Amino acid sequence: MCDSLDKYEKGNAVKEHCILGYILFKFLLPKSDICKFILYHHNTYDVDYIINDIENPLESNIIKLADDISIYNIFNRQASVNDVIDFLNEISYMYNPNYLNRFLDTNAKMAIENVLNESYKENFWKEVDLLNYKVITIEDIILCLAFIIDCKCDITNFHSLSVSNTSCMLGKYFNLSENEYYNLKIGSLLHDIGKIAIPNEILKKEGPLTKAEFEIMKQHAVYTYEILSNLKHEHILNIASNHHEKLNGKGYPRGLSDLTLSEKIVAVADIFVALIQKRSYKDGFSKDKVIEILSNCANKGEIDGEVVKKVIENYDYLEKMNNQLYSLYNDEITLLYNEYNNLLSKL
């Protein structure tokens, strides 16, 4: 844990997250320059620090300025607007002088005030709405979040993407309305977003978890609920955060038993994908074994029998679809993973 801005900036983890962000955005938005903004967003303006001839755009320095204000606020909760401005002046050599001066001469006080009193949150989604379809769509952002979770958990599986594709296909079999389908798509993509708050040692542990570790792991459903509460969209929130609830009330985190069709679909898709995928400690199970496990869960009243029936009826197609998703991304991921290691070696 780091307790000061100085230590934060000097840690290797900071450089690593710049590279990881660069790699992620290069994958998700290959035609955009956003990845370059991220690669250098902790760099000092006039230091000629270029990795592998990737140019250092001005935008990265603008992100650095905004990032520094936010981080300063995190480490100095009682800070005033003037404290932040003094801090920026102290480290002014880090920023493009034209940009910093223009910022300080015009809207700095208001922008910093918005950060300190958190009123920026109100305008945030309005501004994201403006961005939508011009630079990046909301769906791109959601896909990006799902992908970050998948990379954090296990780079060789695309769990959230697979659960979402499987859920959407099941949703089509049940003739969900357009709205229900859209909610199902977003909710299933984000169902494990709470894993962002689970320690890597547990997420990436090879082999089964101990009882204590499993209790910590279970918290991800609570974190998913807390994170997505910000969306203020009840259906998406429930579809995502109820994926470990069981129809007999023995699931977690809330022990609910009354679930909607979309919630039941994601709960089944989550188990189906986990069973067919290879993990560090197990191979993917055979079709017979997967059907046996799903049927047992349905018979015990844990998951919905009708949804399981649809999975069994369409098993070969669902499995093929998941394999295609894996081969679609696998080569690209291997290339990006090699580039990630190459950039890390240049630090």
Residues in the site for Fe ion, rule: CB under 5 A? Answer: 192, 270
Beta carbon of residue 245, minimum distance to Fe ion (angstroms, whole number): 11
Kindly state the smallest distance separating residue 93's Cβ from Fe ion, in Å. Answer: 19
Residue 183: C-alpha distances to residues 6, 17, 196, 239, 264 (Å): 42, 31, 21, 8, 13
Q: Which of 239, 232, 32, 37 is nearest to 137 (CA)?
A: 32
Q: State the nearest-atom distance from the C-beta of 133 to Fe ion, in Å.
A: 27
Least distance to Fe ion, CB of residue 128, Å: 19
In whole angstroms, give the CA distance from residue 7 to residue 11: 6
Q: How far is the CB of 178 from Fe ion (least distance, A)?
A: 25
Alpha-carbon gap, residue 195 to 224, rounded angstroms: 8
Give the nearest distance from C-beta 271 to Fe ion in angstroms.
Answer: 9
Q: Which is nearer to Fe ion, 132 or 285 (CB)?
A: 285
Contact 43, 109 (CB under 8 A): no
Q: What is the DSSP string of 275-320?
A: HHS-BTTBPPPPHHHHHHHHHHHHHTTSS-HHHHHHHHHTHHHHHH
Cβ–Cβ < 8 Å for 278, 157:
yes
Pick the closer one to Fe ion by CB: 74 or 130: 74
What's the Rg (C-alpha) of the chain? 23
Task: Using the minimum distance from each CB to Fe ion, give the nearer residue, 39 or 79.
Answer: 39
- Identity of the residue, 132 or 325, whose beta carbon is nearer to Fe ion in the bound complex: 325
Q: Where are the beta strands (DSSP E) in the chain?
A: none
Our CB check for Fe ion shows the closer of 180 and 192 to be 192
Q: Which residue lies nearer to Fe ion by CB, 245 or 270? A: 270
Residues 15/347, Cβ–Cβ less than 8 Å: yes
